[in-house]
Amino acid sequence: MDAAPLTSKRRTGRWRLLPERGTISLFELLLLAICLVLVAVPLPQYLQDVLIQTFLWAGLALAWNIAGGFAGLISFGHAAFFGIGAYTSSILAANYGLTPWIGLWIGGALAAAFGAVLTLVCARLRGPFFILSTLAAAEVVRIAALNWAALTGGAEGFSILPIASIANMVFESKTTYAALMLGYFLLIYVITKAVEGSRYGYYLFAARDDEEAASAAGVNPLLARTGAMCLSAFLAGIGGSLFAQYFLFLDPTHVISPELSFQFALLPALGGLGTAIGPVLGSFVITPLSELLRSYFGGAGAGLHLAIYGAVLVVVMLYFPSGIAGALQRLAERGRKGAP
Amino acid sequence: MTALLEVRQLTRTFGALAAVAGVSFSVRQGELVGLIGPNGAGKSTLYNLIAGAIAPTSGEIVFQDRPVAGWKPYQAARAGVARTFQIPKPYRHLSVLENVALSAMLHDRTVAAACESAQAILTDVGLADYVDAPVGNLTVGLLKRLEVARALALRPSLVLFDEIMAGLTPSEVRGMTNLVAGLPARGITVIWVEHVLYAIMKTAPRIMVLHRGELIADAAPEVLVKDPAVIKAYLGEEMSLA
Amino acid sequence: MVPCGIPTYAARVSNGTMTTVGQLVFSGLLIGGIYALMSIGLTLIFGVLRIVNFAHGEFLMVAMYGAWAMTRYLGLNPYYSIVAIVPAMFLFGIVVHRLIVMPALDKPHLVVVFATMGLSILMQNVALMALSADLQDVPPILGGRSFTFGPFYAKPELLIGFAVAVACTLGLRFMLQATYLGKAIRATVQDGEAAQLMGVPVPRIFLITFAAGSALVGLSACIMTPLFSVFPTVGLNFVLIAFVIVVLGGMGSIEGALLGGICIGIVQSLSSYYIAPAFGQMFFFMLFLLVMIFRPAGLLGRKGEATLGIND
């Protein structure tokens, strides 16, 4: 599941080919280069949209992974954090004129607070009990948002004023949005790598793998987990704010939906839970694919891309539980053994 | 000389069953104390109570002159109490090195330093060859040694060993016995639950016997093997210590 | 989603608050029994296999479409289609178990979670593609009039449904206590390894239980089709209700599911009328979260189960 474990044979001073805990690999640098090029190069509007979504989802998947992959807190309710972030910054901007550049931190903080409460309240729950609780909590948020129409606009939705300006965080050029989303994704990637190779990261892995043993080794599992969920929720909330500034329209049915929550979990699961590169690969593969399917099959194939996701998820989970990242790692190991 | 660990009238009941009933003893700094008794005697419960995994129903636990009954396992670890688990509980997704390094991280604040400490300890317990092995491949005997390594990596002042000899070959038993016997000299006090009697009877100068939750004996091995109560409860017949 | 029937009955009663409350509780009781019937399969599967089947709602959806289709194209009353739907769902359960559940059982727990989630998404969207998203209804079977049951009114479909739910619970309890299969199932619930050592064919018990859970969903679908519309994502509404009921009643407890279902039915009935239909759903999620906080084992569940989660 995780990135390749640290071994005593760490060759120092040499570049790694594939992603590993605690170092940057050539693969990651190459990916970074490709991303920068894609942002800089002029692309048709449609492809720029795909790029923006891909980067956003890479960030969101990485955020989920901190709780779900690293800490073992599998959540099917992350859309609630996303929605809290999105609505908070948008409502603050509309009602108080607060610039989203500040509002997004507040949204993130609110989402983090919600995450902390959820984790503490569900502290003793494990396995499916915890998962169901996240589902229920997200539904509570969605229904609340739907019915508190005075604040959120309810089912009719909430529009963000499309007046382009830096202070409003609304841009005319899609390239700027792509850069913004890339920045978001890169920031979370750096945070993820930092956590993965840190003492705190190891404490999360230990608490996830065997809570009793970790506790006997000096880890406070509840504190570690709550911290992970807070960070995860915070980052997801910021993603929600960025999404609001791009999409310019919010409504609870689409923004806090179980389908969206599922997407949060699907991308890391397919890409490789518990690794840093996994959620990124998941998004880079699935997001463009889903856009492709959506445009190719159009309205007639409503649900086809989701049906394919479902089928792919079943197959991948049963036969490639470590996802794309795991498959790459196995290839690398085979290569290493073959090399003289 | 004050005791490192003192246990007074410690009791833990589960419903109508008293798993540990009014147990009292004290262990001084630098002692090596054995703890034996038939299955179901309450040894694991006693360990769980001392190490903070469960809270007592009544009684006191005093560690380094501090009352600590009902503390959490991570508090115990940070205070210097380490324990092994009878059924090894390794972190399945981490390597052997990382398993031990995790414990070392209590004192070593960077991952690199923790790995170095871990490497040294693994060599100490004879697991140097398995440092990079995935945990899933290890046999029970090796996993037990991993448990010992993880406990020692915490740099404890008191360590609670739980049947660490099971599954070891006679030469491995000798090696492990030497390791345990050497711990008091390193400043580590040891309480040692063991079923492999010949190892513990020859090494520990003092042995406590638990039976049905009660401490029925607490003496040197030579005295114990003649104690009729101990014989009846556990040994079965008089044992020679040759 | 508001089930049809409940606000209508409350509105019909005109003799003052007491009777309204009474009628609401009565209607809630009946619909709760039906919700329970839908949840028994889920709780049974959890009790024996220790997994949550996230595709439970889609099993219901498929069976409901089957019952509806038999009415629409063969003129068969949904109660008669039980004869066809229940065995069909049993077979469907066998197939899903063999293909998806069994390979996932020896892997980390999240594999079965994601695999059944994936199945759920797959089934929902295949239905969406193959059938229209329109709500499909079955015309009233038994005349469409209500019966008087003491001082209360109830649709016959509700009464029949409730009766079937109670009968099912009693029947299952009898089967579990008195037959070898039942004892084998109970042994597996208590300690799968020990049961296997005693000669219980645990893998086959898993298969039978999963298929039986699926068949029970089929039964409840036939009961529910006269009362609810069916559409491709209907499963999502009901599966959340089923989760709440199962947790409330205690995962693995059949009587707990009945009790839990009745509680939920009554809570929903009262809150839909007195507060607002939309908030009705929010209420039982909050109830769910409260149960999780204060008594995660549920009303009749085994204590400590939720804190142990699944044996990984």
**pLDDT for the residue numbered C37:** 94
C-alpha radius of gyration, chain C, whole number: 19
- Mean pLDDT across the stretch C227-254? 86
Across the A/B interface, how many CB contacts are shorter than 8 Å? 102
d(CA C115, CA A315): 8
A134 → chain C, closest CA residue:
C289
**pLDDT for the residue numbered C4:** 38
Contact C289 A258 (CB under 8 A): no
Cα C136-C139-C145 angle, rounded to 5 deg: 135
Q: Which of C286, C269, C290 is nearest to C7 (CA)?
A: C269
**pLDDT for the residue numbered A3:** 58
Give the best residue of C2, C56, C117, C281 to mutate against chain A (max A CB count within 10 A): C117
**pLDDT for the residue numbered A5:** 59
What are the chain A neighbours of C111 within 8 Å (beta carbons)? 317-318, 321
Contact B51 A202 (CB under 8 A): no
Q: Kindly indicate the confidence band of residue C18, based on its pLDDT and cuts at 50, 70 and 90.
A: low
- Mean pLDDT across the stretch B74-82? 95
Contact A209 B109 (CB under 8 A): no
Q: C151 by DSSP, 3-state: which?
A: coil
Helix (H) or strand (E) holding A212, with range, is helix A211-216
Contact A199 B111 (CB under 8 A): yes
Strands B189-193 and B158-162, sheet pairing: parallel
Contact C292 A129 (CB under 8 A): yes
* A5 located within any domain: no
Which among A8, A214, A217 has CB closest to B131? A8
Quick one: angle between helices B140-153 and B111-124, nearest 10?
Answer: 130
Give every CB contact of residue B20 below 8 A, 6+ residues apart in sequence: B10, B11, B12, B42, B45, B46, B49, B56, B213
Q: Is some CB atom of chain B closer than 8 A to the CB atom of A131?
A: no
Q: Is some CB atom of chain B closer than 8 A to the CB atom of A214?
A: yes
> Is-contact B202 B222, C-beta < 8 A?
no
d(CA A253, CA A145): 9
List pLDDT tens digits, range A300-340.
556 787 888 889 889 988 988 888 888 888 887 787 665 44
Give every CB contact of residue A334 below 8 A, 6+ residues apart in sequence: none
Interface of B with A (CB under 8 A): 51, 53, 72-74, 76-78, 82-83, 85, 89-95, 97-98, 101-103, 105-106, 109-111, 114-115, 119, 131-132, 134, 150, 154
Tokens 């009554």 belong to C266
Give the closest-approach CA distance of B80 to chain A in angstroms.
10
* A238 located within any domain: yes
Contact C108 A126 (CB under 8 A): no
Query: B159-188 burial, b for 16+ CB within 10 Å, e for fewer?
Result: bbbbbbbebbeeebbeebbebbeebeeeeb
Q: Which amino acid is at A190?
A: V
Across the A/C interface, how many CB contacts are shorter than 8 Å? 144
What are the chain A neighbours of B101 within 8 Å (beta carbons)? 6, 202
Cα-Cα end-to-end distance for chain B: 33
Query: In sequence order, what are the beta bridge partners of A240?
Result: none
- Mean pLDDT across the stretch B200-229? 89
Give every CB contact of residue A307 below 8 A, 6+ residues apart in sequence: C121, C122, C125, C126, C128, C129
Give the C-alpha distances (Å, rounded to integers) separating C5 from C27, C64, C65, C145, C227. 9, 18, 20, 12, 8
Q: C121 by DSSP, 3-state: which?
A: helix
Residues 27-66 of C with CB under 8 A from A: 46, 51-52
Strands B5-14 and B17-27, sheet pairing: antiparallel
CA C128 to chain centre: 22
Contact B111 A198 (CB under 8 A): yes
* A219 located within any domain: yes
Q: Kindly indicate the confidence band of residue B180, based on its pLDDT and cuts at 50, 70 and 90.
A: very high
Name the phi and psi angles at B33, rounded to 5.
-115, 130
Name the phi and psi angles at B9, rounded to 5.
50, 40
**pLDDT for the residue numbered A252:** 92
**pLDDT for the residue numbered C144:** 66
Q: B24 by DSSP, 3-state: which?
A: strand
* A84 located within any domain: yes
Q: Is some CB atom of chain A closer than 8 A to the CB atom of C95?
A: no
Contact A202 B105 (CB under 8 A): yes
Q: What is the mean pLDDT of chain C?
A: 83
Interface of A with C (CB under 8 A): 1, 74, 76, 121-122, 124-133, 135-137, 139-140, 143-144, 146-147, 258, 262, 265-266, 269, 273, 301-304, 306-307, 309-314, 317-318, 321
**pLDDT for the residue numbered C310:** 40
Residue A217: domain span = 46-257
Contact A206 B119 (CB under 8 A): no
d(CA A36, CA B127): 46
Neighbours of B64 (CB within 10 A): 16
Q: Is some CB atom of chain A closer than 8 A to the CB atom of C96?
A: no
Say which DSSP state A73 is in. Answer: -
Contact A1 C108 (CB under 8 A): yes
Long-range own/partner contacts, residues C66-75 (CB < 8 A, 24 or more apart): C66/C218, C66/C221, C67/C138, C67/C221, C67/C222, C67/C225, C68/C136, C68/C138, C68/C225, C68/C230, C71/C138, C71/C139, C71/C225, C72/C136, C72/C138
Q: Which of A203, A180, A228 is nearest to A55 (CA)?
A: A180
What are the chain B neighbours of A210 within 8 Å (beta carbons)? 89-92
Which among A304, A312, A317 has CB closest to C129? A304
* A157 located within any domain: yes
Which among A129, A258, A266 has CB closest to C296? A129
A69 → chain C, closest CA residue:
C110
Say which DSSP state C15 is in. Answer: S
* A284 located within any domain: no
**Total residues found in chain C within this entry:** 312
In order, the DSSP letters of A107-137 are HHHHHHHHHHHHHHHTTT--HHHHHHHHHHH
Half-sphere exposure (Cβ direction) of C8: Cα atoms closer than 13 Å: 11
> Is-contact A53 A287, C-beta < 8 A?
yes
B150 → chain A, closest CA residue:
A217
Which among A121, A124, A140 has CB closest to C307? A124
Give the closest-approach CA distance of A75 to chain B in angstroms.
20
Contact B106 A218 (CB under 8 A): yes
**Alpha-helical regions (H) of B52-88:** 73-79
Contact A307 C126 (CB under 8 A): yes
Question: Tokens standing for A231?
Answer: 């960070």
List, in order of start, the domains of chain B with CATH numbers. 5-89+143-235 (3.40.50.300)
Helix (H) or strand (E) holding B107, with range, is none
**pLDDT for the residue numbered B39:** 81
B73 → chain A, closest CA residue:
A216
B155 → chain A, closest CA residue:
A217
CA A41 to chain centre: 25
List pLDDT tens digits, range C35-86.
999 999 999 998 888 888 999 999 999 999 999 988 888 888 888 889 999 9
Quick one: angle between helices A127-147 and C109-130, nearest 10?
Answer: 40
d(CA B87, CA A213): 11
- Mean pLDDT across the stretch B23-32? 93
C-alpha radius of gyration, chain A, whole number: 20
**More confident position, C309 or C57:** C57
What are the chain A neighbours of B53 within 8 Å (beta carbons)? 212, 215-216
d(CA C298, CA C309): 13
Model pTM above 0.95: no
> Is-contact C184 C205, C-beta < 8 A?
yes
Cα-Cα end-to-end distance for chain C: 36
Contact B134 A5 (CB under 8 A): yes
In order, the DSSP letters of A239-274 are HHHHHHHHH-EE-HHHHS-HHHHHHHHHHHHHH-TT
Tens of pLDDT along chain A (340 residues)?
565 555 555 545 567 777 777 788 888 888 999 999 998 888 888 889 999 999 999 999 999 999 999 999 999 999 999 999 999 999 999 999 899 999 999 999 999 999 999 999 888 888 888 888 898 899 889 988 988 888 888 888 888 888 888 888 888 888 999 999 999 999 999 999 999 999 999 999 999 999 999 999 999 999 999 999 999 999 999 999 999 999 999 999 889 988 899 889 989 999 998 889 999 999 999 899 888 877 776 665 567 878 888 898 899 889 888 888 888 888 877 876 654 4
**Alpha-helical regions (H) of B72-225:** 73-79, 96-104, 111-124, 140-153, 170-182, 197-203, 221-224
Give the closest-approach CA distance of B194 to chain A in angstroms.
20
What are the chain A neighbours of B109 within 8 Å (beta carbons)? 199
What are the chain B neighbours of A207 within 8 Å (beta carbons)? none
**pLDDT for the residue numbered A168:** 81
Q: Is A42 exposed, middle or buried (0-12, 13-18, 19+ CB in 10 A)?
A: exposed
d(CA C183, CA C202): 12
d(CA A81, CA A59): 14
Total domains in the fold of chain A: 1
Neighbours of A136 (CB within 10 A): 26
d(CA A321, CA C10): 51
| Spans of all domains in chain C | 27-241
**pLDDT above 60 for C205:** yes
Give every CB contact of residue A33 below 8 A, 6+ residues apart in sequence: none
Which among A22, A205, A221 has CB closest to B91? A205
Strands B189-193 and B32-36, sheet pairing: parallel
Question: Tokens standing for B42?
Answer: 């309450």
Query: In sequence order, what are the beta bridge partners of A170?
Result: A165
Give the closest-approach CA distance of A211 to chain C in angstroms.
11
What are the chain A neighbours of B131 within 8 Å (beta carbons)? 7-8
Say which DSSP state B233 is in. Answer: I
What are the chain A neighbours of C276 within 8 Å (beta carbons)? 147
Q: Is A200 exposed, middle or buried (0-12, 13-18, 19+ CB in 10 A)?
A: middle
Give the closest-approach CA distance of A80 to chain B in angstroms.
30
